Amino acid sequence: DAGITQSPRHKVTETGTPVTLRCHQTENHRYMYWYRQDPGHGLRLIHYSYGVKDTDKGEVSDGYSVSRSKTEDFLLTLESATSSQTSVYFCAISESVGPGLETQYFGPGTRLLVL
Amino acid sequence: GENVEQHPSTLSVQEGDSAVIKCTYSDSASNYFPWYKQELGKRPQLIIDIRSNVGEKKDQRIAVTLNKTAKHFSLHITETQPEDSAVYFCAATGSGTASKLTFGTGTRLQVTL
């Protein structure tokens, strides 16, 4: 497995509270991604980063924000958690977008339950 | 944006038989098509990928075919084994500043003895 860790691995929180998930990589890859996985939906892109301080929205970005102050860390914040954000969150990294370099490697995931 | 449809949602085969999973995509600019395998409680792991300038790629018992004209691609697993049982996801990425993957909804493959 690529050097990707996610923390926490499991979290239970209450509706309305802010939550921050962390993705840490040791591969020095430029691109980082946050996905959520829900039954019947596969994996859906929330936000991604193409460099330090360079981020952009994915297809399901409402209610989420991200930050990347260092190459190795990509943070996902749920500003005010809702039950619809109960999901498994995966971070992924890729070296580049060029041929042979665009493979995305996934972290172990964070299971979030919002009560 | 890109839309990826995947069929079937579940597939049961006997050990030793072949399994085929099909995906269609909507964005003709998509140029990279990976397949991921996800075992229960684990992370998705890449098993094979193909770029739009190639029609077929094979790696031991796994092969992927791509039809750009029809905008569909397929995963073929031959001589299936119990350890092939998992959920398989196809994905496609178009042009842009990052490899923004759009995933299919997954196929649960069950290989029975």
Q: How far apart are CA B62 and CA A18, in angstroms?
A: 43
pLDDT band, very low/low/confident/very high, at B94 (cuts 50, 70, 90): low
* Greater pLDDT, B62 or B27: B62
- Determine whether the interchain pair B45/A94 forms a contact, defined as Cβ–Cβ distance below 8 Å: no
A85 phi, psi to nearest 5 deg: -95, 5
Per-residue pLDDT band for A88 (boundaries 50, 70, 90) equals very high
What pLDDT was estimated at residue B52? 84
C-alpha distances out from residue B10 to A58, A87, A108, B61, B86, Å: 28, 22, 24, 20, 10
> Cβ of A40 under 8 Å from any chain B Cβ?
yes
B2 vs B20, residue with greater confidence:
B20
Token pair for residue A56? 């952009």
Touching check for A106 and chain B: CB below 8 Å? Answer: yes
> What pLDDT score does B2 carry?
85
CA distance B49 to A105: 13
Q: Which two tokens stand for residue A8?
A: 């926490």
Q: How are beta strands A10-13 and A110-114 bridged, if at all?
A: parallel
Percentage of chain B beyond pLDDT 90 is 81
The DSSP string of B36-57 is EEE-TTS--EEEEEEETT-SEE
Question: How many beta-carbon pairs below 8 A join chains A and B?
Answer: 60
Asked whether the predicted pLDDT for residue B99 surpasses 80, the reply is: no
- For residue B89, the cross-strand partners are B36
Tell me if B27 sits within 8 A of B95, measured CB to CB.
Answer: no
d(CA B43, CA A107): 6
Report the alpha-carbon distance of residue B94 to residue A47 in Å, rounded: 16
B37 contacts on A by Cβ (under 8 Å)? none
Within an 8 Å CB–CB cutoff, is residue B27 touching chain A? no
Q: What is the pLDDT of residue B95?
A: 60
Q: Using one digit for the tens of pLDDT, what is the confidence trace for A1-33?
A: 669 999 999 999 999 999 999 999 999 999 999
Confidence (pLDDT) at B96? 60
Q: What is the mean pLDDT of residues B24-33?
A: 91
Calculate mean pLDDT across residues B59-75: 96
Is the pLDDT at B97 greater than 60? The verdict is: no
Q: What is the percent of chain A with per-residue pLDDT over 70, rounded to a whole number?
A: 97
Checking if the pLDDT of B7 tops 90, the result is yes
User: Which amino acid is present at A110?
Assistant: T
